[in-house]
Amino acid sequence: MTARNSKRDRMTCLKTHSWETEQGRILMTCHICDGDIDVKRDSWEADHIIRRVLSGDDSAENIAPAHTKCHRGKDSKTSQDIRENAKGKRVRNKATGVERKSGFLQSAKGAKFNWQTGRYERRANDR
């Protein structure tokens, strides 16, 4: 689950966000702390601004550079992240029909809901 920082993403990120100073340093701006990233000196990673599971994509607009230390801080599995990831998956699964909507089970053909037993029952003579 760490494909988010692939070489291709980093390349896209570098091409899209870096510039060269008069001194020949290649800089990018960390999108988390707004500090400079000197690509030759600093450890950095390509970060997806919108997480992939929340329909973030791999386009250049959705990838921004971040210091490794900033990125790791953001990426630590907080409960917020876990909730968002889980929600993203649920929404996607529902949209594609992978996950059934919650609620009453669909009744089997010919079955009747018996309120006394709380379950669907099929009478023998219905078959």
* Interface contacts to Zn ion, rule CB under 5 A: 30, 32-33, 35, 67, 70
Shortest-Cβ-distance residue relative to Zn ion: 30
Least distance (Å) between residue 71 CB and Zn ion: 8
Nearer to Zn ion, 12 or 28 (CB): 28
Q: How many CB atoms sit inside 10 A of residue 17's CB?
A: 20
Q: Are 122 and 110 in contact (CB under 8 A)?
A: yes
In sequence order, the 6+-apart residues with CB closer than 8 A to the CB of 110 are 122, 126, 127
Least distance (Å) between residue 99 CB and Zn ion: 37
Nearer to Zn ion, 33 or 98 (CB): 33
Least distance (Å) between residue 72 CB and Zn ion: 10
Nearer to Zn ion, 28 or 70 (CB): 70
Q: Tell me the CA distances in angstroms from 94 to 27, 56, 91, 97, 108, one per residue in order.
A: 42, 17, 5, 5, 22
Nearer to Zn ion, 17 or 67 (CB): 67
Q: Are 70 and 28 in contact (CB under 8 A)?
A: no
Least distance (Å) between residue 61 CB and Zn ion: 19
